[in-house]
């Protein structure tokens, strides 16, 4: 007789219960970037919309920023660290290959024997993490999942590269995902286009640097125009697919939180999606820069903290970046 596996006892629905963020104390205006490249504040603002960004100090490691953001998210969700039974951290700037930083965070925050792992999905990492958390809760494997995007991209920035020196910032954004009586996270529209992997990449692999084949420490490079075209034309389609999958029309949307890569990309997506004027649009990139996987939760936290968005609002979130990878979904704000 063949044994039958019992069905999962998880919650069919989940939602974001709390959000937290951490921005390093040091604010770096464009004027400081201009010490290293031949450009102007006007050029940087017109190309990216960025006026300043936060860069981490020696003590503001990926782990320390993550712990700060996670603590705020746990408190905002009204749970205890001991109730977190899975930790998912998206980062490309934690330089220790193994063990995962998630295991350190789970231990230090007091989450006991929580499942813990890192993911590398670039600027779509937060969306990937949300999708995984939703699945863990539906499966019954977890009840409360911590999802974090945390980056110290200043460590991977070539200050002499005129096309990228002004783009990147540091920080961490976190959410707690838990069970819900009704859908709070819509279907995910996610994927990758690996044939475009070279558009955003690390300049050289770590072993090339180790072996002395290159003098400069590895940094992030990108083909700006190719990224812009892809984001504007292809990601607007993905965002619309996420709205359709959730059964939400643009008129029913309250908030739009895209990856904070570039103000021109954000404005172009708003236009292509034909979002009504009442929709609040996150434009955190102006003072935070591009923080990769941290950008969406950081922007979400700021919108809620400033009252520009409120609990229960319906928000479209979309991340896209190196890989090239993308992830979009509709969520109910905590």
The set of catalytic residues is 123, 259, 290
Q: Is 119 helix (H, G, I), strand (E, B) or coil?
A: strand
**CB of 255 within 8 A of CB of 280?**
yes
Residues 6+ apart with CB under 8 A from 191: 238, 325, 326
Here the tokens at position 286 are: 């102006």
Distances 315 to 40, 181, 330 between C-alpha atoms, Å = 35, 18, 6
**CB of 111 within 8 A of CB of 84?**
yes
Question: How many CB atoms are located within 10 Å of the residue 38 CB?
Answer: 8
Question: How many CB atoms are located within 10 Å of the residue 97 CB?
Answer: 7
> What's the CA angle centered on 216, arms 215 and 218, to 5 degrees?
125
Residues 6+ apart with CB under 8 A from 231: 261, 262, 265, 269, 320
Question: How many CB atoms are located within 10 Å of the residue 99 CB?
Answer: 11
């Amino acid at each position: 007789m063949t044994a039958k596996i019992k069905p999962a006892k998880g919650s069919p629905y989940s939602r974001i219960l709390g959000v937290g963020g951490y921005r390093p104390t040091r604010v770096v205006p464009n004027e400081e970037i201009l010490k290293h490249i031949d450009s102007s504040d006007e050029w940087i603002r017109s190309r990216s919309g960025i006026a300043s960004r936060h860069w981490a100090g020696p003590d503001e490691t990926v782990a320390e920023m993550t712990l700060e953001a996670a603590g705020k998210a746990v408190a905002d969700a009204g749970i205890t660290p001991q109730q977190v039974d899975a930790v998912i951290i998206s980062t490309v700037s934690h330089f220790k290959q193994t063990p995962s930083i998630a295991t350190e965070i789970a231990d230090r925050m007091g989450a006991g024997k929580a499942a813990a792992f890192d993911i590398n999905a670039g600027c779509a990492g937060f969306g990937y993490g949300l999708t995984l958390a939703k699945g863990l809760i539906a499966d019954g494997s977890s009840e409360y999942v911590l999802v974090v995007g945390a980056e110290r991209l200043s460590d991977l920035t070539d200050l002499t590269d005129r096309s990228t020196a002004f783009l990147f910032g540091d920080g961490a954004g976190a959410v707690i995902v838990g069970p819900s009586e009704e859908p709070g996270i819509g279907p995910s529209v996610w994927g990758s286009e690996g044939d475009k992997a070279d558009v955003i990449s690390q300049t050289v692999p770590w072993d090339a640097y180790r072996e002395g084949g290159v003098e400069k420490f590895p940094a992030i490079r990108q083909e700006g125009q190719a990224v812009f075209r892809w984001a504007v034309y292809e990601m607007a389609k993905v965002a619309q697919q996420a709205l359709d999958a959730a059964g939400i029309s643009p008129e029913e949307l309250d908030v739009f939180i895209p990856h904070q890569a570039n103000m021109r990309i954000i404005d172009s997506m708003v236009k292509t999606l034909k979002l009504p004027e009442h929709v609040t649009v996150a434009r955190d990139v102006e003072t935070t820069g591009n923080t990769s996987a941290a950008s969406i939760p950081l922007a979400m936290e700021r919108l809620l903290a400033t009252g520009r968005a409120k609990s229960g609002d319906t928000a479209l979130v979309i991340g896209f970046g190196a890989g090239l990878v993308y992830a979009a979904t509709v969520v109910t704000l905590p």
